[in-house]
Amino acid sequence: MNFLGHLYLSRQHSDEIIVGNFIADGLKGRELRDLPPMVLKGIKLHRYIDDFTDKNPWVKKSKQRLYSDYGKYSPVIIDIFYDHFLATEWNDYSSEMNLNDFAQCSYDLLESYPQYLTDPIKGLLFHMRKQNWLYHYSEISGMERTFQGMSRRARFDSRMETSCEALVKDYHLYREEFRAFFPEIIRFVEQLSL
């Protein structure tokens, strides 16, 4: 799961757990040392979600389909494909608020805890809000912009800028795999004790 999936899966937790979940990939060793327990629980939640996702047979099937063209970037691409399906099928998973309202509330919440955000994470959040990534995951054009930006920042030739072609080509297969996977990860997260 990418940003939208992680935020959705942590939405029932405290604000600090949500923030910890969001910042988890941007922090290393020493940066974790002085964080409060609830933020650390959010980081732990993020890692549990990633671990479950990486081992899930539906996700593995999706990644395998991409592997010959995208290699080690396949897991990253699938995370974003799955955020796309969560965004397009949002009303099937959330009756609390629509996707755009959820996105705006998420940005507001994250920005209200600047003390836990490193400068790179603040920069990421600025662009995320400015371009409303969470909402625009629902559109192929929004996905294309995301992949173009990621491709520019990749250390190696990732070809991620072409990944929406793969999504469109096998759209129904990725959607079926997402639909099988997502209820499983919801149950997994509900049963976790942090």
Instruction: Give pLDDT tens digits for 39-60.
Output: 999 999 999 999 999 999 999 9
Which pair of structure tokens corresponds to residue 65?
Answer: 């389909």
What digits encode the pLDDT tens for the residues 45-101?
Answer: 999 999 999 999 999 999 999 999 998 889 999 999 999 999 999 999 998 899 999
| For residue 23, pLDDT beyond 90 | yes
C-alpha triplet 73, 88, 180: angle, nearest 5°: 70
Cα(153)–Cα(170) distance, rounded to whole angstroms?
A: 26
Q: What is the tens place of the pLDDT at every residue in 131-188? A: 999 999 999 998 888 888 777 776 667 688 889 999 999 999 999 999 999 999 999 9
The overall longest dimension of the chain from CA atoms, in Å, is: 46
CA 61 from centre of chain: 18
CB 150 within 8 A of CB 164: no
Say which residues have a Cβ less than 8 Å from residue 189's Cβ, sequence separation at least 6.
9, 10, 45, 48, 49
